[in-house]
């Protein structure tokens, strides 16, 4: 394999959507290697948010290979996403001006409510476009968009806070990994993803107390906006994959939130 010859490491592909991640081994050493990882990985490593960056190397075809320390561990379970450690790491990301400057410097993309609304409508299946609960939710998102934009707090957002992107090492160190979806957006975007998938509405205030942000009516409305937006995206994706139980569960959640 050409990549092994260039790097001097034996590469073992590991799971992931991109097929770009490997366990690299050489003698007794082991590293996590990835092609074209987020260009501000060094800053994340310095802040202890992601595992330590060991080196970067540009390879023959122009790709950049990054090497991080290998951490034996596991992903978080669904009920562990409530933890104060998750809240504190997300707050650290969202408050970091150095991460924000770095992502701006490397041309990180920005996501605004109108972008998400456009993405949802693009290629939407006819039965979803005509579904009464989904139409009602979409109209509410459109009608409140300007209010949400007005109060936005733009920061670095991970962009995919799935439990599968949280790594708890055997040394009990928690990391947020896989930054390929990192964006500049309202910090409520990440929180909305987290709440829509893992945290019941009755538990929102408890989690936000750990996150240590003023729980204002405006902040809760922004979170609610991104929760419903995330659920609409989840409905669309589940429909595309034929995962109709997951799709219907998301529609029920949307209906409950819109009824409160």
Residue with tokens 């942000």: 213
| Euclidean distance between CA atoms 177 and 179, whole angstroms | 6
d(C-alpha 184, C-alpha 154), whole Å: 6
Is 160 considered catalytic here?
yes
Catalytic residue among 151, 160, 172, 255: 160
Instruction: Name the strands in the sheet holding 53-58, side by side, starting at the edge strand that comes first in the sequence.
Output: 10-13, 21-26, 29-35, 64-69, 53-58
Catalytic center residues: 160
């Amino acid at each position: 394999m050409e990549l092994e010859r260039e790097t001097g490491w034996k590469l073992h592909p590991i799971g992931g959507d991109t097929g770009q991640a490997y366990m690299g081994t050489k003698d007794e050493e082991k590293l996590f290697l990835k092609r074209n990882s987020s260009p501000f990985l060094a800053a994340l490593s310095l802040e202890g948010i992601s595992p330590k960056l060991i080196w970067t190397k540009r390879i023959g075809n122009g790709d950049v290979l990054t090497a991080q320390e290998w951490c034996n561990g596991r992903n978080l379970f669904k009920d562990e996403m409530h933890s104060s450690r998750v809240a504190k790491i997300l707050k650290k990301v969202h408050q970091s001006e150095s991460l924000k400057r770095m992502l701006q410097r490397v041309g990180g993309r920005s996501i605004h409510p109108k972008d998400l609304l456009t993405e949802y409508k693009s290629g939407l299946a006819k039965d979803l476009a005509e579904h009464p609960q989904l139409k009602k939710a979409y109209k509410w998102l459109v009608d409140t968009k300007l209010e949400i934009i007005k109060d936005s707090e733009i920061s670095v957002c991970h962009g995919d806070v799935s439990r599968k992107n949280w790594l708890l090492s055997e040394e009990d160190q928690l990391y947020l990994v896989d930054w390929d979806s990192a964006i500049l957006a309202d910090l409520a975007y990440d929180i909305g993803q987290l709440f829509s998938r893992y945290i019941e509405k009755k538990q929102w205030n408890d989690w936000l107390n750990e996150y240590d942000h003023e729980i204002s009516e405006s902040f809760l409305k922004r979170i609610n906006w991104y929760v419903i937006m995330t659920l609409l995206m989840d409905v669309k994706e589940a429909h595309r994959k034929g995962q109709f139980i997951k799709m219907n569960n998301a529609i029920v959640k949307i209906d409950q939130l819109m009824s409160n």
